[in-house]
Amino acid sequence: MGNAGKGEQKRQTARNRVLSASEYLQHRYETPANIPELPLSDEAFAAVWRQASGAEVLDFLAEAFRLPAADFQWENRDALKISFADTLGGRLPVVATESHKDFRQMEALLDARKEAQELPPTVNAFAIEARAEIIFRHRVLLLNYAPYSNIPAGEIGLSERDWLERSHRLRLRHECAHYETLRLFGGMQNHALDEILADGLGQIAAFGSFDADRQRIFFGLRRGGDTCTGRLSFYCQNVRSEERVKVYRAVDEVLDDVAEELNGRLERKESDAKLLFALAGTSLAERLKMKG
């Protein structure tokens, strides 16, 4: 096994290790003291996807990558779209669907599987490292038009149409944030810190500010942190089951401070890069300590 393979094996082992709540809350990214010139240059694969401009999506995937798009029965083929997102880590191709069935099938197609996997209705976005041999290591965002976190529009106080549009902007910025931590800091995780970071930038893109109570709704987190019925529980699966409530309480406790910090930075008109660096470089444990 080469060095790259050994490195990935170590990272996978670390991700699968069962953690105490205290260990889990220490996670943060090593961020450089000075922000580099941004955005970074596009990765090489982006050039291939530029050929999709004006092309029919499934025809492009079949012709450019020899993917067997015709093997699937598409529910809303005309709604499939390919675009580009401008991120701090360079431009990134985005494939959008308007049907959960098509979303699942597109994920299977890009992942070189013959059948779509069952996914809950709350899952409507992936940052995919395409696994078909000819497009291996092409990073692609796959997004489905649906309410964010499967939250009804009425719970957010918006019309259904407005909420769908905001959900798409939020979901897109969220996934771009994960790509940015990958390119700028060398990693991305299914972790509460990463999700606060990505949802924080997503909320700003969709609403112009960050609201802590709105974030609690997205996480399925009751104020006080004693109960979690939504997404946040998924990101704590590698925490000892008896200690997960400590993570819920920690997240609940820091959200108001994150809101105050982010909205203050927005008032000072700080850049997206400064917001990203501030969130990524401070662990939840450090935020709790600053409160104390």
With beta carbons less than 8 A apart as the criterion, state whether 61 and 105 touch. Answer: no
| C-alpha distances in Å from residue 39, one per residue of 47, 67, 143 | 16, 31, 22
Sheet bearing 90-97, strands edge to edge = 81-87, 90-97, 138-144, 125-130
| C-alpha distances in Å from residue 124, one per residue of 1, 77, 108, 119 | 35, 17, 14, 9
Q: Give the model's pLDDT for residue 4.
A: 41
With beta carbons less than 8 A apart as the criterion, state whether 137 and 118 touch. Answer: no
Q: Give the model's pLDDT for residue 213.
A: 97
What is the domain partition of the chain in residue ranges?
7-29+187-292, 42-157
pLDDT tens digits along 110-161: 998 999 999 888 889 989 898 888 888 899 999 999 999 999 999 999 999 9
CA–chain centroid gap for 133, Å, is: 24
Cα(157)–Cα(261) distance, rounded to whole angstroms? Answer: 24
With beta carbons less than 8 A apart as the criterion, state whether 189 and 196 touch. Answer: no
79 phi, psi to nearest 5 deg: -85, -10
Q: Give the model's pLDDT for residue 133.
A: 83
Identity of the residue numbered 261: E
Q: Can you tell me whether residue 131 is helix, strand or coil? A: coil
Q: How confident is the model at residue 59 (pLDDT cuts 50, 70, 90)?
A: very high
Q: Give the model's pLDDT for residue 79.
A: 96
With beta carbons less than 8 A apart as the criterion, state whether 85 and 141 touch. Answer: yes
With beta carbons less than 8 A apart as the criterion, state whether 105 and 116 touch. Answer: yes
Largest CA distance in the chain: 58
User: At a CB cut-off of 8 Å and minimum separation 6, what does 16 contact?
Assistant: 238
Q: Can you tell me whether residue 129 is helix, strand or coil? A: strand
Cα(153)–Cα(147) distance, rounded to whole angstroms? Answer: 7
Cα(102)–Cα(72) distance, rounded to whole angstroms? Answer: 9
- Confirm whether pTM is higher than 0.75: yes
Cα(181)–Cα(60) distance, rounded to whole angstroms? Answer: 29
- Give burial (CB, 10 Å; 0-12/13-18/19+) of 252: buried
- Mean pLDDT score, 250-274: 97
Which 8-state DSSP code applies to residue 281? T
| C-alpha distances in Å from residue 50, one per residue of 58, 87, 276 | 15, 16, 27
Q: What average pLDDT does the chain have?
A: 92
- Mean pLDDT score, 62-85: 95
pLDDT tens digits along 16-56: 789 999 999 999 999 998 889 999 999 999 999 999 988 89
Q: Give the model's pLDDT for residue 285.
A: 98
Cα(226)–Cα(244) distance, rounded to whole angstroms? Answer: 10
Q: How confident is the model at residue 3 (pLDDT cuts 50, 70, 90)?
A: very low
- Above pLDDT 70, what percent of the chain? 95
- Above pLDDT 90, what percent of the chain? 83
Of 289, 221, 219, 222, the residue nearest 257 (C-alpha):
289
pLDDT tens digits along 206-242: 999 999 999 999 999 999 989 999 999 999 999 999 9
